[in-house]
Amino acid sequence: MAIRLNHTIVAAHDKETAAKFLSEILGLPAPSLVGPFAVVRVSDDTSLDYIDADGEITSQHYAFLVDENEFDEIFERIRKRSLTYWADPGRGKRDQINTWDGGRGLYFDDPNRHLLEIITRPYGSGGTTTSRLHPLFATPSSEHHEGRSGHRGKNSEGRIVATGRSDGRDE
C-alpha cells in the first residue's frame, strides 16, 4: 500500500471563511462542517480541515498540483478578486508567474496569511536540463543568487543553465 496524506488541520481565525475561500479559489465543492472543522476535500482521499484558533496563527505553506486548464481557471479567480500573487515563496516577485520545471506556478495568501501555491509540474520534474530549473534543484553557485533573474549555474551534468531571465521577468 502506498502511503498517502489523508488530511491536515489548518488553523484559522474564522474556519468557515478560510475554508470557503480555498474551495472557491480552487473551484472545489463547498466545505462541509464536521465537528469542530470546516473540511475542504481537495482530492478523493485528502482534505484540509480548518479549525478556529485564537491569537496569532503561524503561517503554513500548502502547494496544489493542478493541470494547465485548472491553473488558468484558478489564476482567473485570483485576478478577479484582485489578490496579490508572487512567482516565489519569498513574496519578492509580485504579479509574476514562475515557469520552473517547464510548468507554471504562483503563490498567494489565504485570509490567515497561509501561503498557498498552485503548480502545474511537481518540483524537480523538469530534470536538470530544463531551461527553468527549479531553485531547489539549482547548484550551489546559483543558490547563492536565490534564483534571481539573469544568473546562471551548472546542472548536475555540468551544463550551464539559466536560472532566470535577463530582463528581470520570471514568466
Domain ranges (residues) in the chain? 7-55
pLDDT (average), residues 69-89: 98
Residue of 91 and 148 predicted with greater confidence: 91
pLDDT (average), residues 32-57: 97
State pLDDT tens for residues 112-131. Answer: 999 999 999 998 887 766 67
DSSP reduced 3-state for 12: strand
Q: What is the pTM of this model?
A: 0.78
Give 13's pLDDT tier (boundaries 50, 70, 90).
very high
Architecture, CATH, for domain 7-55: 2-Layer Sandwich (3.30)
Among the listed residues 157, 156, 154, the one whose alpha carbon sits nearest the alpha carbon of residue 142: 154
Q: Which three cell numbers stand for residue 97?
A: 508567474
Per-residue pLDDT for 97 more than 70?
yes
Q: Please state, rounded to an integer, the average pLDDT across all residues of the chain.
A: 84
Per-residue pLDDT for 147 more than 60?
no
- What pLDDT is recorded for position 125? 85
Could you give the percent of the chain with pLDDT greater than 70? 78
pLDDT (average), residues 20-42: 98
Per-residue pLDDT for 17 more than 50?
yes
pLDDT (average), residues 96-119: 96
Question: At residue 21, what are phi and psi to the nearest 5 degrees?
Answer: -55, -50
- What pLDDT is recorded for position 15? 98
